Chains A and B, each alone.
Chain A
Amino acid sequence: MASITLTGLTKVYRDGFEAVAGVELEIGDGEFMVLVGPSGCGKTTVLRMVAGLEDITDGTLKIGDDTVNDVGPNDRNVAMVFQNYALYPHMSVAANIGFGLKLRSVPRDDVTRRVEEAARILGLTDLLQRKPGQLSGGQRQRVAMGRAIVRDPDAFLMDEPLSNLDAKLRVQMRAEVSHVQRRLNTATLYVTHDQVEAMTMGDRLAIMREGRIQQCGTPQTVYDRPVNLFVASFIGSPSMNLYEAILSDDASSVAIGSQSIPLPDSVRQARPKLREFAGRKLVAGFRPEHLHPAAGHGLPTIDAYVDLVEALGYELLVHFSIDANKVTAEDAQAEERMAARGAGVARFDPSTAVTPGERVRLAVDAARMYFFDPVSGATIWD
């Protein structure tokens, strides 16, 4: 058991490409840290550096109190779960799980006992003599977990371990992985591009983009108080609606397209820096669940045209468009960039009567709006 400390961790490839730039991160003993970001953001490189599979160009990596920059992967006492499971195809499940112990010259009786214990925790007891080729995806995933936990390592490193499973199994395994991690209480660094996985599993998450950590905090913190446009649009599904807006000269209202939303004093007081943008352009955002059907809220409203309604049973996702310019964080996903001008999504109660093609008034809770600097992308708070 140990903590993991990354200080100024940097990776520059031989061709000069900087994959990871000065990452600072501390994963406490027993903490479940999720590293999340779009593909190519450098999260897997960070994980591989921690594992020792990738050289560290600059910065220091500590596991416990030891700096392990120059320690080989076989001597770091970390365990890793790979995206493709990477099970040894010619070995039985038991041999796969016990391989690491065998290499450490653990007595045979001990290996058997610990393999059986790991198998029991993961429900693999009946499969120990099978070969990986005879297992289903979920079972292989469990074997890969078993191989990690049996060694009682200082840390678990997991590289998108659930991405090869089908949607239903992924939800189930998500809970299982979390459960096993809590039970063993071992520092865990978990890499994923799936923000739902990140939100549901992590004690804290670190959001990465272009080799840099954008924000690190508890799921609720990054959701409620994203530090910038990228984090705001990356975390949350459906993602935050972001539009070009202009703040009035006295900062008393914000114009989104041709429509204006008055900002009460409380909103301005909570965001003193907003005054600096008086009379200037900024980016306004609201989360889908903060838009309501207009009736009876007494909140300011905007007019929207309903493009599509997705009924999920427990809620309606109302895809609408307004006459404003949508803003996307640069590396938001491609399909989002292609979304129609002014498109947005609102989350409604399933009992709401709303049909595609109609015009609706959306109530906007200004207190829950987000504002961003259009140049730097930073969130405008205080």
Chain B
Amino acid sequence: MSALADNRQWRLYGSRRTRLIVTSVCGLVAVYILMPIYWMVLAATKTDSNVVNSFGFAPSGPFELFRNVSHVFTYQQGIYGHWLINTVIYSAAAGVGSAVLCSVGGYAFAHYQFRGRGALFGAVVASVMVPATVLAIPLYLMMSHVNLLDNPWGFILPSVVSPVGIYLMKVYCESAVPPALLDAARVDGAGEIRIFVSVVARLISPGAATVFLFSVVGAWNNYFLPLLLFSTNSRMPATVGLGILQYEASQGNTGSESVYSMVIAGSLVLTVPLVVVFLLLQRYWRSGLTMGAVTG
């Protein structure tokens, strides 16, 4: 783009002063969001005493990142690694499960006429408004009835259900899958399952990737539900695990070991895979928005 066109483009967004204000506000918000992350990254490189005693937003003392990270993975016979694997398993299951469930459900709401469709969809939308905390006790009791307390499925199954995801996929299916395409496949000789697998699934995969992402993040960061449902340490995901470590540190149960910096390093380790998954899928996700079915 030439400088002139660039200039003209900018002018569309208002005067220099307006732009300055907008940029400043955005900058402030970015600083606000990034500050804790910056603190965490720095703190993960410090020794335990430096975490407590030094200025949080400047590096200080020896660079101990690798020592801290290796410490977190060796502490208590590598229990953190075990928790991390749990997190990966629970999140992947929740992500894949909800992507599939929401795709199927959203597609049905978008393209099938059936009795009670409106009421059912209304119920799904309404359940978006219910905070997860409110459901915790009923969920606990339900899981205890079906003997799924302290069982991975007890955590995975509720994580798979995502009313927002179903809503999202319904809207996505309506825009990405024209009804004529389904008719064409039917006349071509495809049954309903075949249509979903061969035609629809491909078209809505960008939407499903979004749902997958949301669910993975939701399950990955979930602290409350696993804390409630699991009682055995080895079943815990890393979020709860870090909580346990921190609790032990605060109780002084760890003897002379430096646990604060280790917990922070563990938090950093826990954050990295999410960032990677997000960056990978974001590309896919954005490319999907421009891909629709072909019409004249």
- Residues of A in contact with B (beta carbons under 8 Å apart): 48, 51-53, 72-76, 78-80, 82-90, 99-100, 103-104, 132-133, 137, 140, 147, 151, 157, 164-165
Contact A82 B189 (CB under 8 A): no
Contacts of A84 in B (CB 8 A): 178, 180, 295-296
Among candidates B187, B198, B291, B296, residue contacting A89 with C-beta atoms closer than 8 Å: B291
Is the CB of B294 closer than 8 A to any CB of chain A? yes
Who on chain B is nearest to A51 by CB?
B187
Is the CB of B184 closer than 8 A to any CB of chain A? yes
Q: A78-B187, A100-B188 are in contact. Are A89 and B194 (CB under 8 A)?
A: no
Is the CB of B199 closer than 8 A to any CB of chain A? yes
Measured between C-beta atoms, what is the minimum distance from B205 to chain A in Å?
A: 9
Contacts of B198 in A (CB 8 A): 99
Q: Does more than half of chain B's interface fall in helix, strand or loop, or is it mixed?
A: helix
CA of A268 to CA of B291, assembled, Å: 66
- Residues of B in contact with A (beta carbons under 8 Å apart): 178, 180-181, 183-191, 194, 198-199, 202-203, 291-296
Measured between C-beta atoms, what is the minimum distance from B187 to chain A in Å?
A: 4
CA of A78 to CA of B189, assembled, Å: 9
Among candidates B178, B190, B194, B294, residue contacting A133 with C-beta atoms closer than 8 Å: B294
CA of A8 to CA of B187, assembled, Å: 23
CA of A103 to CA of B185, assembled, Å: 10
Contact A82 B186 (CB under 8 A): no
In the complex, the number of residue pairs spanning A and B with C-beta atoms less than 8 Å apart equals 82
Contact A74 B291 (CB under 8 A): no
CA of A37 to CA of B189, assembled, Å: 29
Contact A86 B178 (CB under 8 A): yes
Contact B184 A89 (CB under 8 A): no
Who on chain A is nearest to B184 by CB?
A86
Measured between C-beta atoms, what is the minimum distance from B287 to chain A in Å?
A: 13
CA of A90 to CA of B291, assembled, Å: 9
Measured between C-beta atoms, what is the minimum distance from A159 to chain B in Å?
A: 9
CA of A164 to CA of B184, assembled, Å: 17
Contacts of A75 in B (CB 8 A): 189
CA of A221 to CA of B178, assembled, Å: 39
Q: A80-B183, A89-B291 are in contact. Are A140 and B296 (CB under 8 A)?
A: yes
Contacts of B183 in A (CB 8 A): 48, 51, 53, 73, 80, 82, 86
Contact B184 A80 (CB under 8 A): yes
Contacts of A133 in B (CB 8 A): 294
Contact A74 B295 (CB under 8 A): no
Contact B194 A103 (CB under 8 A): yes
Given contacts A52-B187, A86-B293, A99-B198, 5 further A-B contacts (CB under 8 A): A83-B296, A87-B294, A103-B188, A103-B190, A103-B194
Contacts of B180 in A (CB 8 A): 82-84, 86
A sample of 22 cross-chain residue pairs with beta-carbon separation below 8 angstroms, ordered by A number, consists of A52-B187, A53-B187, A73-B183, A73-B186, A82-B180, A82-B183, A85-B295, A85-B296, A86-B180, A86-B181, A86-B184, A87-B184, A88-B185, A89-B203, A89-B292, A89-B294, A99-B188, A99-B190, A103-B189, A104-B189, A137-B296, A151-B188
Q: A89-B293, A140-B294, A164-B296 are in contact. Are A73 and B199 (CB under 8 A)?
A: no
CA of A99 to CA of B291, assembled, Å: 21
CA of A277 to CA of B49, assembled, Å: 112
Contacts of B188 in A (CB 8 A): 74, 79, 99-100, 103, 147, 151
Contact A132 B294 (CB under 8 A): yes
Q: A88-B199, A103-B194, A132-B294 are in contact. Are A74 and B178 (CB under 8 A)?
A: no
Contacts of B189 in A (CB 8 A): 74-75, 100, 103-104
CA of A103 to CA of B203, assembled, Å: 19
